């Protein structure tokens, strides 16, 4: 069997699962797993069964632990409930805050073990899912895929604690989503900078999630569809229409799987919406927190998505889906419908002088106001709601 080892990097704890047959001469994939509020690496590993799968499939798993200790010189890195502060601007950019910390921990693990740099991925739940989304935009050259479970789009909230000490702006986005996910996609594209590339993305979200409304799952896909569209040289707003839709019942719960192919007919993104599931990890271990043992096994599905051949054509996907049991009727999802934008939304541009000007010319002007609501009270209420689930 493998080893689950404890490490510390600059006073930040993290754990690494090392598969049992590890040999220095061989390169191994690595998945960065980002826990949610009120969780820690041990709890998250148990709840997702990710270490069990890692032993079977022979990959490393890195579990950073959110720093729970107060540091007056690093308020953006502190959270009394162990939540990743995805909603603070300091944690949404390359070379700062959480993204910089995770990047440096990855580099330290690479110095200790032989990791395949072309097969590093990130996935997370809730606040961890939102941080995984941020990592895809801030360090796209590091990750070959990201998984977001019950998370939010890049830049969904930008809380300034002096004017919004309760982080009510973040809570509003969790409950209602963002006004314009395409704008989030534009900002993610800008954040990628010179390292920009198309990002493979898989999203899981429970339709009965009352902590992070399911609209956010759809908006994460819209955001990344827009970002990948711009990476491909697109101008304006992308048409977010899935290439394939499959509905079925798995492990006692119905679900709908949306598959999005890129311009080369490669599977680039997937959205899994699970019926009668709340703010939990689908198909998880009940011995861990915030898990639902029924429904699709998110752990295996996410890893298979990351590990599948890159050149998988639409025809092959159709053949795969044809082998499934007779599908259940499609689920009606409570999400904003995706519509083809009017020409007013996406005016034609003639040779914009910069990426920033392209974005500014194609997206609508928006001014978001966030209500004031103590960061500690916000997370206290959040944990209280979670415990009632």
In tens, the pLDDT along 194-235 reads: 999 999 999 999 999 999 999 999 999 999 999 999 999 999
Two structure tokens written together for 365: 């002007």
Burial class (CB in 10 A: 0-12, 13-18, 19+), 162: exposed
Cα 237 from Cα 349, distance rounded (Å): 12
Instruction: Return the sign of the alpha-carbon dihedral for residues 219, 221, 226, 227.
Output: positive
Instruction: Give strand pairing partners of 282.
Output: 292
Chain-centroid distance of CA 41 in Å reads 17
Residue from 250, 238, 135, 140 nearest 185 by CA: 238
Among the listed residues 253, 247, 245, 160, the one whose alpha carbon sits nearest the alpha carbon of residue 208? 253
What mean pLDDT do residues 57-61 have? 98
Residue 311 pLDDT > 70: no
How confident is the model over 46-63, as a mean pLDDT? Answer: 98
Strand 60-64 and strand 12-18: pairing?
antiparallel
Adjacency order of strands within the sheet including 3-9: 3-9, 12-18, 60-64, 28-34, 115-125, 146-149, 201-206, 267-274, 253-261, 244-250
103-107 mean pLDDT: 98
pLDDT at 95: 97
Residue 263 pLDDT: 81
Enter the pTM of the model: 0.83
Q: Is the pLDDT of residue 171 over 80?
A: yes
Structure confidence at residue 232 (pLDDT): 94
The position carrying tokens 């890159």 is: 310
């Amino acid at each position: 069997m493998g080893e689950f080892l404890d490490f510390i990097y600059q006073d930040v704890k993290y754990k690494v699962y090392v598969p049992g047959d590890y040999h220095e001469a061989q390169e191994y994939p690595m998945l960065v797993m980002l826990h949610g509020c009120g969780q820690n690496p041990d709890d998250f590993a148990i709840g997702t069964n990710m270490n069990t799968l890692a032993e079977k499939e022979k990959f490393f798993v890195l579990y950073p632990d959110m720093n729970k200790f107060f540091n007056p010189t690093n308020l953006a890195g502190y959270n009394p409930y162990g939540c990743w502060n995805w909603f603070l601007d300091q944690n949404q950019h390359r070379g700062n805050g959480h993204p910089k910390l995770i990047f440096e921990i990855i580099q330290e693990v690479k110095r200790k073990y032989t990791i395949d740099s072309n097969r590093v991925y990130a996935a997370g739940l809730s606040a961890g899912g939102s941080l995984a989304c941020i990592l895809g935009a801030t360090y796209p050259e590091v990750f070959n895929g990201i998984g977001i479970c019950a998370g939010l789009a890049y830049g969904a909230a930008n809380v300034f604690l002096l004017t919004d000490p309760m982080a009510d702006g973040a809570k509003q986005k969790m409950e209602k989503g963002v006004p314009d996910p395409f704008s989030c996609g534009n900002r993610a594209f800008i954040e990628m900078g010179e390292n920009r590339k198309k990002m493979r993305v898989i999203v899981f979200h429970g339709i009965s999630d009352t902590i992070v409304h399911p609209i956010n799952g759809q908006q994460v896909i819209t955001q990344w569809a827009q970002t990948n569209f711009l990476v491909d040289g697109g101008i304006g707003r992308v048409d977010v229409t899935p290439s394939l839709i499959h509905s079925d019942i798995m492990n006692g719960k119905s679900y709908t799987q949306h598959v999005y192919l890129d311009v080369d007919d490669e599977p680039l993104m997937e959205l899994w919406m699970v019926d009668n599931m709340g703010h939990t990890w689908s198909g998880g271990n009940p011995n861990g927190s915030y898990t639902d043992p029924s429904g699709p096994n998110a752990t295996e599905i996410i890893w298979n998505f990351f590990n599948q051949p890159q050149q998988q054509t639409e025809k092959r996907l159709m053949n795969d889906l044809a082998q499934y049991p007779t599908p259940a009727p499609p689920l009606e999802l409570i999400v904003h419908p995706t519509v083809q934008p009017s020409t007013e939304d996406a005016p034609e541009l003639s040779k914009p002088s910069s990426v920033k000007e392209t974005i500014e010319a194609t997206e609508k002007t928006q001014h978001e106001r966030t209500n004031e609501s103590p960061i500690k009270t916000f997370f206290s209420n959040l944990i209280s709601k979670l415990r009632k689930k």
